[in-house]
Amino acid sequence: MVVILFSAGFLAAVLATRTHEYLTQYCRTVLWIAVIALVYNLVCRGYAMWYHPRWWFITDKLSQMIQIFILFPCTTLLFLRYMPSALGRRVLHFAIFLAIYAAFEVCLVMSHEIEYYHGWTFGWSIVLDACMLFVMWLHHQNWRLALGFCGLVTSLFLAWFHVPFDT
């Protein structure tokens, strides 16, 4: 339920602010974030760091798809569209989006709509969210640097959590 509400809220914000009109400008980054999320689902299949228990007709896979195809693209559009040019305001913008994602995670935890496994915790989710937001900005600025950063961060996460490649 929380995933649906947050996704609907972000979609409503995109539509209300007419940010969807900027999709062509940010399309590459929107797709990159979706690819990263899909790669997580592929690599961690059988060894998930988190799981969304079934809620009525919403399964873990459907929840992941809603996030990948609605929440993350809407977040990317809003995050990049309203990114300020001044460094201080940019840091504040980043902090606001990170706080929104932290609140999202808190709601998931409090409603028991997420379970953590293999050493993953709420704190790791916040670190991952911070990396995701940074990657959104970095990819929009320089996709080559974003590719390298993603490779490094992914390697560190895979090693830290001992993700097997044979599952």
pLDDT in tens, 111-140: 999 999 999 999 999 999 999 999 999 999
Residues 148-166 have a mean pLDDT of 93
What's the mean pLDDT in 142-165?
95
Q: What residues does 115 pair with on adjacent strands?
A: 51
Q: Which amino acid is at 62?
A: L
Residue 45 φ/ψ region, left for φ over 0, alpha for ψ in the -120 to 50 degree band, beta for the rest: beta
Structure tokens at 123: 């704190």
Contacts of 86 (CB under 8 A, 6+ apart): none
CA-wise closest residue to 34 among 71, 80, 82: 71
Q: What is the residue-averaged pLDDT of the chain?
A: 94
What percent helix, strand, coil does the chain show, rounded to 5?
75, 5, 20
> Strands, E, within the chain: which ranges?
50-51, 115-116
pTM of the shown model: 0.93
Domain ranges of the chain: 2-160
pLDDT at position 13: 97
The per-residue pLDDT for range 27-62, each reduced to its tens digit, is 999 999 999 999 999 999 889 999 888 777 788 889
Does residue 70 carry a pLDDT above 90? yes
